[in-house]
Structure 1
Amino acid sequence: MSQVYPLAPLTSTGHWSFVALLAILIGLGVFIYCKNMPKVSKAVSIGVLLPMVLAFSWMFYKVNDSKLVISADSLTLDVPFYGFSIPLTEIDLDDIIRVDWGKSPELKPNLRANGIGMPGFQLGWFRLANEQKAFVATTNTDNIVSIPTKRNYPLILSLQNPETLTRNAL
C-alpha cells in the first residue's frame, strides 16, 4: 500500500512569478512576430520560444499536483520534469527532519545547479548554503522537510502536511 504526501501548492508569489514569466515570453513572441526580420529568423525564434511557453505552462499546471509517494520498497517524487524514485533502503529514515531556515540556514538553497528558481518556487538540483548538493522542491518556507539519502544528498521538500511524514508513516 502506498502513502501519498502532497507537496505544498504554489503561494500567490509563485503564481504571480509564473504569470509574469509567461506574460514576458508571450510578449516576446508577439514582438518577434511583429518585428520586421527575415522569415527564417522569425521562424527559428518562434520555434525556440513556443516550446518554452508550452513547457512553463505545463509546469505551472502540474506543480500544484506534485506529490511524494512512499510505497513498500521505494520513495517516488512526482514533480514536473524532475520526477524520480529511490529505493527505501537508500533513505535515512531515522533522520527525516522538519526544517526552519531561520534555525538551520545551512539547509537553505543557495546556488541553482540544474533547475528552476523563481520567487515562490524552486525545483531541481541546488547547492545548499553548506555547499552540499540537494534536490529541492519548495513553494513556501513554512512546511519544509529534509529527507537524507544514502546517496550523499538530501531531498528538501515543502509538503502540505509535513507532520504526517514521520518514521512511523514510512
Structure 2
Amino acid sequence: MPQVYALAPLTPASHWSFIALLAVLVGLLTFIYFSTLPQISKIVSIGLLTLMLFAFSWLFFKADDSKLIIGENKLILDVPFYAMTLPLAEVEINDIQRLDWQREPDLKLESRHNGVGMSGYQLGWFRLSNNQKAFVVMSEEENLVMIPTLRGYRIILSLQEPDKLLNQQR
C-alpha cells in the first residue's frame, strides 16, 4: 500500500507573491490590449502573456496539492511541471534525513538552473553550495528532508510532517 506524504503548503508570503505576479500579468495583458502596437505584435504578446497567466495560475493552484508517494517499488513526486517517478532501487531510502542548513551549510541552495523561484516557494533544479545537483520543492525551511538518489542528485522537500516519513522509512 503506497504511503502518501503531503508537501508543506504555500506560506502567506508565497500566496501574496503569486497574487502579485498574476495581477502584474493581468495588468500587462490589459495594457497591451489597449495599446497601439501593430496587430501581429499585439496578438503574439497577448498569446504569450495568456499562456504565462494560465501556467502560473495552475502552479499556484497545484502547489498546495503536491505530495510524495512511496509505493512498493517506486517513489513518485507529484508536483507542478516537474512530476517524477523513480524506482526505489535508485533511491537511498535508508539515508533519508532531516535537513538543517545551520548544521550543513554546504547543502544550501546556491543557484537555480531550471525552475521557479519566488518569495516563499522554490521549485526545480538547483546547484548546492557543495556543487552537487538537487531537485527542490520548498515552501518553508523548517521541515526539510533530503532524499539521496543513485542518479547523482538529491531531492530536497519541505513536508508537512517530515517525522512521519522518517519514522516509517526506518
Q: TM-score range by the shorter chain?
A: over 0.9
Aligned to 1:166: 166
Contact 2:14 2:121 in 1 (8 A): yes
Aligned to 1:128: 128
Shift of 1:168: 3.7
Aligned to 1:67: 67
The 5-angstrom pairing of residues 13-162 of structure 1 reads 13-162=13-162
TM-score with structure 2 setting the length: 0.97
Change over 3 Å in CA distance of 1:77–1:122 after alignment to 2: same
What amino acid does structure 2 have at the position aligned with 1:62?
Answer: K
Q: Which 5+ residue runs of structure 2 have no aligned equivalent?
A: none
TM-score with structure 1 setting the length: 0.97
Shift of 1:169: 3.3
What amino acid does structure 2 have at the position aligned with 1:43?
Answer: I
Count matched residues: 170
Q: CA RMSD in A?
A: 1.1
Larger CA deviation: 108-117 vs 61-70: 108-117
After TM superposition, the runs of 4+ consecutive aligned structure 1 residues lying more than 4 A away are: none
SS at match of 2:19: helix
SS at match of 2:81: coil
Distance, in Å, in 2 between the alignment partners of 1:27 and 1:131 is 39
Contact 2:114 2:126 in 1 (8 A): yes
Distance, in Å, in 1 between the alignment partners of 2:13 and 2:167 is 32
